[in-house]
Structure 1
Amino acid sequence: MERPDWAPPGIDISVPSVSRIYDYYLGGSHNFEVDRQAARRAMQFVPGLPKIMQANRAFMRRAVRYAVAEGVTQFLDIGSGIPTFGNVHEVARAAAPEARVVYVDHDPVAVAHSRAVLDGDERAAITAADLRKPAEILDGPEVTALLDLDRPVALLLVAVLHFLEDADRPREAVAALRDALAPGSLIVLTHASYQGIPLEPEVAGGAVQVYRDIRNPLVMRTREEISRFFDGFETVEPGIVPMPLWRPEEPPAGAGEAAVEPAEDPYAFAGFGGVGRKA
């Protein structure tokens, strides 16, 4: 297998990576053949996976703009993945040039590429850390240097919590992060779910099994289970909803006021997103 020039030293390019698979779904170029093979296997069961990822990114950008409009200009993006166009710092600074961003990921490729993208940027940084160890994130030099935790911070957990099994204690990790944040801080969260996928769970489960096969279990949770991650936050309108329905910049195509099911790609409505504010 030929090693791309951009692959950081020490990376095993024979093992698929969640962040590189995500990059492939979004049309990126920083993925290996082993990642593309895993993505294509998953898409045999859920062909709309790229649309789901695009809906995730669009939700994230709207939520970042909402945060800035609410006066929050500090961002902690955990599970940030490989940098693509329209990243958090780009979206935030379009509205607030002073915005500061710390990205967090445990994938060495995502970290290496983020460092390259952010080289020379004094108001953005990447740290190699794991959501399962929130204290290491909060005490890391990047967070302590760039973020003032005595002021509101937007905590982004976009498409990451579904890679933590209950045994990883994800609710406790989110609670630890929440408790470190100042009042007025926001949580921005999306999560995969069988609810909303236009397939029988048994069929969609084939894609879930692909992730298990590459040792990255994908945990599908119900809306009620996802809502528990918002404990200690007050959800902002319209609540925890399918991602295209969270403060859309314009109504989804064909959705009149009385429409119940917007006439957009149905896969975009798989899973849930929401924003909460710490009192």
Structure 2
Amino acid sequence: MSGEASRGPRGFDTRVANIARMNDYFLGGKDNFAADRKAAEELLTIAPEIKDMVVENRRFLGRAVRYLCERGIRQFIDVSTGLPTRDNTHEVARSRGPGSVTVYVDSDPVVLSHARAILVDNASSSAVEGDILHPRELLERCREDGLIDFDRPVAVVILGALHFIPHSDEPFKKVALLRDLLPGGSHLLLSHAVFDDRPDAVTPVEDVYRALLNRPGENAARTLDEVRPFFDGFELAEPGLVPLRGWRPDKPVNTAPPKGIWMAGGVGRKP
């Protein structure tokens, strides 16, 4: 295969695994390549439950967005969203909150290309470049985009992205700055991997992602209590920061802690 042939649209190198495409593979999508599948399968060898975790993460997103729509939120900023799939933020929001608008924010050119292609005829949704490590610039891009009115409450969605950001990048400080820049009544919708029940998986899973992100020696693993400070300054909605399946389930669930899904999620409101 030639160098050009091994690259996707606009020069994307399909020989290098991409986290967004790996998640697409976990979800049963088709927008992935051999390198993505190889890295994904390596993770599944370490922790087969990761595929279920990705699925549950999407289900949590749907429930949380519906919850926000019921409380009158009509503006969503979805940060590091990953490749578009079914039941995206803008689809759920529009179905439950007429007039809702959504801006997707990502620094991954693969994600931006797909998102813009899907949203090309959608006047109520758009995609801009940015990332959570630069919250002021992120919000400015959304302001320039014109869809978001920052005189009204906004919901910021950060779904399973912060657990890729190492401590050295000060993610808590970045989320706190984002919070301070949002109008009162805004919400944070967040999910994060937590290793309380799988401490044995920390090193091998982190090793895979460190290699993908070219961040040797960096650590982003956190427990449930270590994730909780992301919600400092927010009023957590019931039932708080909990395992994903336990957050306002559509159907009654067993009261025992869900096993095999070591991800937690929650929704907080800025007073």
- TM-score by length of structure 1 reads 0.90
Do the aligned partners of 1:195 and 1:271 also contact (CA within 8 Å) in 2? no
In structure 2, the residue matched to 1:35 is 36
2-side partners of 1:102 and 1:216: how far apart?
28
Where does 1:133-148 land on structure 2 (aligned, <5 Å)?
133-140=134-141, 144-148=145-149
Residue 8 of structure 1 deviates from its aligned partner by 2.0
The structure-2 alpha-carbon separation of the partners of 1:43 and 1:82, relative to structure 1 and needing over 3 Å to count, comes to same
Task: Indicate the SS of the match to 1:101.
Answer: strand
Where does 1:73-152 land on structure 2 (aligned, <5 Å)?
73-140=74-141, 144-152=145-153
Structure 1, residues 120-147: CA drift from partner, whole Å, max 9, x if none?
A: 2111001121221112211115655010
Q: Does 1:214 align with 2:216?
A: no
In structure 2, the residue matched to 1:154 is 155
Residue 208 of structure 1 deviates from its aligned partner by 2.2
State the one-letter code of the partner of 1:260.
A
State the one-letter code of the partner of 1:180.
L
Match among 232, 250, 256 for residue 260 of structure 1: 256
In structure 1, the residue matched to 2:23 is 22
Task: Indicate the SS of the match to 1:16.
Answer: coil
Task: Indicate the SS of the match to 2:10.
Answer: coil
Residue 176 of structure 1 deviates from its aligned partner by 1.7
State the one-letter code of the partner of 1:212.
R
Task: Indicate the SS of the match to 2:203.
Answer: helix
Residue 215 of structure 1 deviates from its aligned partner by 2.3
2-side partners of 1:237 and 1:216: how far apart?
38
The structure-2 alpha-carbon separation of the partners of 1:231 and 1:204, relative to structure 1 and needing over 3 Å to count, comes to closer
Residue 102 of structure 1 deviates from its aligned partner by 0.3
What root-mean-square deviation, in Å, do the aligned CA atoms of Structure 1 and Structure 2 show? 1.9
State the one-letter code of the partner of 1:205.
T
In structure 1, the residue matched to 2:53 is 52
Match among 271, 274, 277 for residue 269 of structure 2: 277
State the one-letter code of the partner of 1:275.
V
1-side partners of 2:149 and 2:195: how far apart?
38
State the one-letter code of the partner of 2:200.
E
1-side partners of 2:263 and 2:178: how far apart?
23
2-side partners of 1:271 and 1:57: how far apart?
12
Q: Percent identity?
A: 40
State the one-letter code of the partner of 1:267.
G
Gaps of 5+ in 1: none
Residue 168 of structure 1 deviates from its aligned partner by 0.9
The structure-2 alpha-carbon separation of the partners of 1:173 and 1:204, relative to structure 1 and needing over 3 Å to count, comes to closer
Residue 261 of structure 1 deviates from its aligned partner by 3.8
Task: Indicate the SS of the match to 1:176.
Answer: helix
The structure-2 alpha-carbon separation of the partners of 1:118 and 1:184, relative to structure 1 and needing over 3 Å to count, comes to same
Runs of 4+ in 1 over 4 A off after TM superposition: 1-6, 141-144
State the one-letter code of the partner of 1:157.
I
In structure 2, the residue matched to 1:235 is 236
Do the aligned partners of 1:193 and 1:271 also contact (CA within 8 Å) in 2? yes
- Higher relative contact order, structure no. (Cα contacts within 8 Å, ≥ 6 residues apart): 1
Task: Indicate the SS of the match to 2:168.
Answer: helix
Do the aligned partners of 1:240 and 1:272 also contact (CA within 8 Å) in 2? yes
Count of residues in Structure 1 that have an aligned counterpart in Structure 2: 267
Do the aligned partners of 1:196 and 1:271 also contact (CA within 8 Å) in 2? no
In structure 2, the residue matched to 1:182 is 183
Where does 1:157-172 land on structure 2 (aligned, <5 Å)?
157-172=158-173
Residue range with higher mean Cα deviation, 109-118 or 214-223: 214-223
Gaps of 5+ in 2: none
Task: Indicate the SS of the match to 1:75.
Answer: strand
